[in-house]
Amino acid sequence: MNRIAIHADLLDFDAEPTLDDPRSGAVRWRPDHWLLIEQERIEAIQADPPGEDWQRIDHRGRWLMPGFIDTHVHSPQIDVIASWGTELLDWLETYTFPAEARHADPAFAAAGAATFLDALLAHGTTSAAVFPTVHAASAEALFAGAQQRGMRLLTGKVLMDRHAPENLRDDVAGARAECERLIERWHGRGRNAYAVTPRFAATSSPEQLAMAGQLVQRHAGVYMQTHVAENRAEVAWVAKLFPEARSYLDVYARHWLLGSRSILAHGIWLDDEDRTRLRDAGAQIAFCPSSNLFLGSGLFGWREARERGMTVSLASDVGGGTSLSMLRTMADGYKVQAMAGTRLSAWALLHTATRGAAQALGLGHEIGTLAPGMLADLCVWAPAVGAVARHRDALARELHERVFAWVTLGDERNLIETWVAGRRLFSHASA
């Protein structure tokens, strides 16, 4: 029987912190504790050492946290991460579409999925909502790779029947058949879940969006993921394509694509009516600060979203985003919100990438916290790496100061181990 006990300083949340309170009571800090894993789940958390029948792993002085949850990322775009120049629409044409076309080859797609999933684990991300490509083989490869690793993955073939290169377009009937087959084969198998995935309103015809809405309504438990209001030129284009819609968001609402399992990336250029509609639908905005900064798309208003009761999660959006590291994403999120006058606490940032994301996805019973019965998706972190970070950590006066410095100065070099469903899948070579 697989019985493992990890000794570390445990950090997670049992409530949602406010955006800007460093003294939040939502934080659960349990230093010098043991987390016990039996098979794939957390069995217990205790201050006293377990019996000799447990395999003990000593990480004293290190932080043990839930694995990160990335709610919007593009697996094929690690091929074009850190590509120079232009705004969103030109960037898609210049870099993204040529990279995605290569995933029509199942062997290429399988190798790319393996590289991508292992990279997530090497950055401390154990669950993700992922855009593959328009090719069914790309989604198949992600599902198979995630099942092999035991990861929680939400994905589905991209829908795109217009305004894209010919080798990246599908059609309504063919796409419906491929989605139905993928749902039948993969949805609910292991920890996989299907996500109906129109790339964005401009690249799907009204007929395809209607088909996507039908899939969401027909198949209980599937997710829907897309983009909304990322860039002003994109918003203007969608308005011309759908003149009958009140707003970009309304395009999706008209096609039954807004619900509690809807993940909409960006949401920068929304108005108050859109925000209210998102709240009422229970949909979430995946805040992608690194990508928004890199592509010059705009600055998301997190405080306005919170005031309207919207759900916000955090996402890397690689390859528009410049790192799979959720630590770097959090640091960029802090900077974006500081421009709007909101000084996010480390707690707000960390919660949004763990417990908050799990709850937004309806998975709070499975991931996002350290508690008995939860799946053991965990990461062990060094609080500081490098002379400057260690010096800063030594001078910190209290926990929030230490964690905020870790968020600001840290990255994947701080990661010691990644565990998924009770299995250690990544270990830093020098740890």
Query: What separation in angstroms does the CA of 146 have from each of 7, 142, 188, 192?
Result: 28, 6, 12, 7
Q: Does the structural domain 3-67+369-427 have CATH classification 3.30.70.250?
A: no
Task: Residues 68-324: name the CATH superfamily.
Answer: Metal-dependent hydrolases (3.20.20.140)
pTM of this structure: 0.96
Of 292, 307, 389, the C-alpha closest to 339 is: 292
Please give the Cα distance from 128 to 126 (Å, whole number).
Answer: 7
Three-state DSSP class for residue 10: strand
**Span 9-38, pLDDT tens digits:** 999 999 999 999 999 999 999 999 999 999
Residue indicated by tokens 């859109």: 274
* Confidence grade of residue 77 (pLDDT, cut at 50, 70, 90): confident
Looking at residues 326-351, what average pLDDT do you find? 96
Q: Which residues contact 395 (CB under 8 A, 6 or more apart)?
A: none
Of 34, 31, 28, 42, the C-alpha closest to 9 is: 31
Q: Does residue 103 register a pLDDT over 90?
A: no
**Span 134-149, pLDDT tens digits:** 999 999 999 999 999 9
Give domain limits for the chain.
3-67+369-427, 68-324
What amino acid occupies position 172? Answer: V
